[in-house]
Structure 1
Amino acid sequence: MEPRRGRGEPPARVVTAALVELAGVSKEYGALRPLRIEHLSVGEGENVALVGLDLPAAETLINLITGATLPDRGQIRLFGRPTDEITHASDWLSTLDRFGIVSDRAALLEGLTVVQNLALPFSLEIEPPNDEIRRRAIDLAREVEIEDALWDARIADLEGSTRVRVRLGRAVALEPSLLLVEHPTAAVAAADILDLGQTVRKVAERRRIAAIILTADRRFAAIAASRVLTLAPASGRFRREDW
């Protein structure tokens, strides 16, 4: 709710709490120069695409944001808390539960079906799921726009776009606060990229969850996110794009 204001006064600026904030961050990761992020802040419900990070840099940034690794310099605040204060494994795992991660590093079970893979967040059983869990998995399949003819197809038989949609469904299944999407179009056919971007954006907006999308595809970035930032690696500064 906005505070009361007098006639003729401008509306109060709505301040969105930052879920993730990086300031003065530098991290060596084996490249010619360290990963540098001068400043990045993502608030509740924001949908941001970051362009200019290759695969190793993107993986490093994901690990920094989730607290899996600490910066060499600078500070990262995660849900209002510095990541260097998350020192116990149980504490970190509890924090990690607030993320949904779409990445090739999040392995799919190739011999199982789409529905079986989407059921895994709800049950670790790999046998065909019971009726209730199957219903929840199918709801996810519909949400990420996987056609019903593919629900019982094996993951090993699917093309790139559908595999990303399965990862997206699993990532949002347990209602995370922040969605991290790591180079989702690397193995996706060019003809499928825009539809996939629309799906990512619709899912994030429908669920009202924040999203950070790391991609090299500017077309995908423009359609999947409401804000697109391009990183200058030497300085660590982001430039906002207005395409």
Structure 2
Amino acid sequence: MNATAAMLEVSGLRRRFGALEVARGIELSLPQGARQALIGPNGAGKTTLVNLITGRLRPDAGRIRLQGRDVTALDPAARVKAGIARTFQINQLFRGLEVVENVAMSVAERRGEGGNAWRPAAAQAEVLDEAMEILAGLGLADDALTPVRLLPYGRQRLVEVAITLGLQPRVLLLDEPAAGVPAADSRNILEVLSRLPAEIAILIIEHDMEVVFRFAERITVLVDGGILTEGTPQEIAADPEVRAVYLGERAAPGTDPA
């Protein structure tokens, strides 16, 4: 896939922690509207790759481009403004605030009003209206005035998605969105993700293979900090090398904490 066709393009990405190479020349391309999954055994480097894409880690070599723009040197906040948003394995919510307040903060930040306590009432109303529209689209409108800490964990994960949508991302990286969520709630999360705007490129990092195969149109397999293979769910399911990795028949992966 060429750079002009890619919403997000990672090329030649490398990163070491001392003698341990945790990203080995990674090549990854997400077109607009991608519904892609990144899988791999524990220690494969999945979260490390997300941290490199979002700027929480700096690569030793390689480039990250968003719609052809080189964002490799940008800090995490600048990458968010450019259009790269993420969720985390453990949610990062303000648990004492209401759901709508969490989402409104991300909307206000995107609009450049996050630190302006004296913004006009009309601007505050616009922020709240947008936050409520996002919540309604995710089936969370009835929870808008509920403190986050009182929501079931599966609903909290959806609030995280709502917050990222408040940033109007071009690329959305979801780090184990179904982790710790009961099966019924994980199916609800998948249903919500399937309704997200088609123009957003989505990459989920997930251990739950049922979630992966229900969501992804393409799957990238990461092993020992490098791409093992990529293909459709059918191709990945039939790949003997992928099966060997998950059955433990290959050498153990590296010790990357991802």
Shorter-chain TM-score: what band?
0.7 to 0.9
Alpha carbons of structure 1 residues 136 and 31: separation in structure 2 relative to 1, 3 Å? farther
Does the 8 Å CA contact 1:179/1:211 hold for their aligned counterparts?
A: yes
**2:135 counterpart (136, 141, 148):** 141
Pick from 8, 20, 37: which aligns with 2:8?
Answer: 20
Q: Which amino acid aligns with 1:100?
A: A
Structure 2: gaps (5+ residues): 109-113, 118-122, 238-258
Separation of aligned partners in 2, 1:173 and 1:31: 40
2:184 equivalent to 1:191: yes
Question: CA distance change for structure 1 residues 68 and 14 in 2, over 3 Å: closer, same or farther?
Answer: closer
Identity %: 27
Q: Alpha-carbon deviation of 1:234?
A: 6.5
Give 1:237 shift: 2.1
Report the equivalent of 1:120.
105
CA distance in 2: counterparts of 1:183 and 1:145, whole angstroms: 20
**Could you tell me how far 1:239 is from its partner in structure 2?**
3.3
| Deviation for aligned residue 1:135 | 2.6
1:222 aligns to what? 213
CA offset digits 1:161-190 (Å, max 9, x no partner): 111111101101132111111111112112
Q: 1: CA distance between counterparts of 2:66 and 2:214?
A: 26
TM-score, normalised to structure 1's length?
0.76
Indicate the structure with greater helix content. 2
1:15 deviates by 8.9
Is the 1:35–1:236 contact (alpha carbons within 8 Å) kept by the matching residues of 2?
no
- Matched residue, 2:146: 153
Question: Which whole-Å CA distance do the structure 1 matches of 2:79 and 2:30 have between them?
Answer: 17
Offset of 1:73 from its aligned partner?
Answer: 4.0
- Following superposition, the deviation at residue 225 of structure 1 comes to 2.6
Distance 1:236-1:37 versus aligned 2 partners, 3 A rule? farther
SS at match of 1:63: helix
Distance in 2 (CA, whole Å) between partners of 1:94 and 1:38 is 22
- Contact 1:112–1:154 (Cα < 8 Å) also in 2: yes
Q: Whole-Å Cα distance in 1 between the matches of residues 137 and 17 of structure 2?
A: 36
CA RMSD of aligned residues (A): 3.2
Change (3 A) 1:185 1:37: farther
1:25-174 to 2 correspondences below 5 Å: 25-29=13-17, 34-36=22-24, 38-52=26-40, 54=42, 57-84=45-72, 86=73, 93-97=77-81, 98-104=83-89, 107-123=92-108, 124=114, 131-146=125-140, 148=142, 150-174=143-167
3-state SS of 2:10 partner: strand
**Counterpart residue number, 1:181:** 174
Q: Compared with structure 1, are the counterparts of its residues 194 and 37 closer, same or farther at alpha carbon in structure 2 (3 Å cutoff)?
A: farther
Partner amino acid, structure 2, of 1:135: D
Distance 1:16 1:33 in 2: 30
- With normalisation by structure 2, the TM-score equals 0.72
- Measure the CA separation in 1 of the matches of 2:26 and 2:57: 18
Matched length:
222
CA–CA distance in 2 between the matches of 1:156 and 1:218? Answer: 29
Question: Alpha-carbon deviation of 1:159?
Answer: 1.5
Superposed CA offset, 1:181-201 (max 9, x none): 111111211221122112112
Q: In structure 1, how many angstroms separate the alpha carbons of the residues matched to 2:19 and 2:194?
A: 31
1:66/1:79 Cα in 2 relative to 1: closer, same or farther (>3 Å)?
farther
Asked whether the equivalents of residues 45 and 222 of structure 2 are also in contact (C-alpha less than 8 Å), the reply is no
Distance of aligned partners of 1:39 and 1:139 in 2 relative to their CA distance in 1, 3 Å threshold: same
Q: Which residue of 1 aligns with 2:254?
A: none
Distance 1:56 1:96, change over 3 A: farther
Distance in 1, Cα, partners of 2:104 & 2:64: 33
1:25 and 1:73 in contact (8 A); partners too? yes
